[in-house]
Amino acid sequence: MAAAARTGGWTAIKNINNPHVKEIADFAVTEHNEQSGDKLKIGSIIKGESQVVSGTNYRLLLTASDGSAVKRYEAVVLEKLWLHYRNLTSFELAH
C-alpha cells in the first residue's frame, strides 16, 4: 500500500468550487429531499473536508433553502468511484 494515501484523518478541501465537490453537495441535498420529503434547494458550499476510508468520505458545510429560510447544514457522503457508489451518511442542521 502506498504511504501517500493515509487513511483516517480529515483533510480540508482546498477548492470547494471544484465541479466534483459541487456534484457531491447536489447529491447530498437531493438524497436528503428524497429521504425526508423536504424540498431544500442548495445555496452555497461554505467549506469541505475529505477522509480516505474504503472510498472517500466528504463532509460539507453548505447552505440550503426551503423557500422561506436559508439554513446551514452539514452533510457527509461516502463515495466509492470505482463502484459508481454514493451514500448519504448524514445530513443535519449545522450548529
Q: How far apart are CA 54 and CA 91, in angstroms?
A: 20
- As a three-state string, the secondary structure of 2-71 is CCCCCCCCEEECCCCCCHHHHHHHHHHHHHHHHHHCCCCEEEEEEEEEEEEECEEEEEEEEEEECCCCEE
Average pLDDT over residues 80-93: 97
Indicate the burial class of 62 (C-beta count within 10 angstroms; 0-12, 13-18, 19 or more).
Answer: buried
Per-residue pLDDT of 1-56, as tens digits, reads: 333 445 679 999 999 999 999 999 999 999 999 999 999 999 999 999 999 999 99
What are the grid coordinates assigned to 89, written together? Answer: 451518511
Identify the structural domains of the chain with CATH numbers, from first to last: 12-93 (3.10.450.10)
